[in-house]
Amino acid sequence: MERTSEAGPAVAEPVGRGGGCWRIVAGAHESSVPRVRHAVRDLLRGQGLGGARYEDVTDGLLLIVSELVTNAVTHAAALSPQVTTEVLIRGGQVRIAVEDGHPYRPKAVHSDEEQTGGRGLMLVKSIALEAGGACDVERTGDGGKVIWASLPLPRSVEGTVEGSVEGTVDGLADRLVEGLAEGPLPGVGRPGGDRRR
């Protein structure tokens, strides 16, 4: 059974053995929204996604978490006593998924300007798509739903996703080629037999 409490900070627990995935279980109460958001913020920082370089993606993810957990607490609490948030960092993407036990699958719709609510999922979808990510609503095996959004991580100077093995190898190869374009390494012959001394 997953831990859930009404007081104190929410805790991100690692999921599985492969790493890169964490789960936060909280009660379906209004007080869970800031607790889950803070747990996700701390998790992202702990994974090296803090600071100015990641500010846009982190701000987007925290807004997404707030909206999705608020929706679950507001609309699903009667049928779902707890809300599960999962964070997956893999393949140059960060995926946030919020699961509850309510069967209703909401749709992102434009709402009237005079309405005070109803824009949450549309906002989540807009943030994800603007960043080059994705958003969807899926059924769970037990009849509930999971709403998820993924955002890409910023690319490094070499144009590869920072933190990926491919990015490291490609970046090293690019730097090596750039270095050779500037001339041979000291002690290595130049075309035409000319040598640097």
Task: Give a three-class secondary structure readout of 70-102.
Answer: HHHHHHHCCCCCEEEEEEEEECCEEEEEEEECC
What is the phi/psi pair of residue 66, to 5°? -60, -45
Tokens 């987007």 found at: 60
pLDDT at position 104: 80
Residues present in the chain in total: 197
**Which phi-psi region, left, alpha or beta, contains residue 59 (left: φ > 0; alpha: ψ -120 to 50)?**
alpha
pLDDT at position 22: 97
pLDDT at position 159: 46
Asked if residue 35 is part of any domain, the answer here is yes
pLDDT at position 153: 95
What pLDDT, in 10s, does the model give residues 81-137? 999 999 999 999 999 999 998 888 776 666 666 655 567 889 999 999 999 999 999
CB atoms under 10 Å from CB of 71, counted, come to: 21
Asked if residue 1 is part of any domain, the answer here is no
Reply yes or no on whether the pLDDT at 6 is more than 90.
no
Asked if residue 78 is part of any domain, the answer here is yes
> Under DSSP, is residue 153 helix (H, G, I), strand (E, B) or coil?
coil
Asked if residue 104 is part of any domain, the answer here is yes
Which structural domain range is residue 163 located in?
Answer: 155-190
| Number of folded domains that form the chain | 2
For 30, how many CA atoms within 13 A lie in the half-sphere containing its CB? 0
What pLDDT, in 10s, does the model give residues 10-32? 889 999 877 899 999 999 999 99
pTM given for the model: 0.72
Asked if residue 7 is part of any domain, the answer here is no
Q: What is the DSSP letter of 142?
A: T
Asked if residue 4 is part of any domain, the answer here is no
> Under DSSP, is residue 57 helix (H, G, I), strand (E, B) or coil?
helix
Judging by beta carbons within 10 Å of its beta carbon (0-12, 13-18, 19+), is residue 139 exposed, middle or buried? exposed
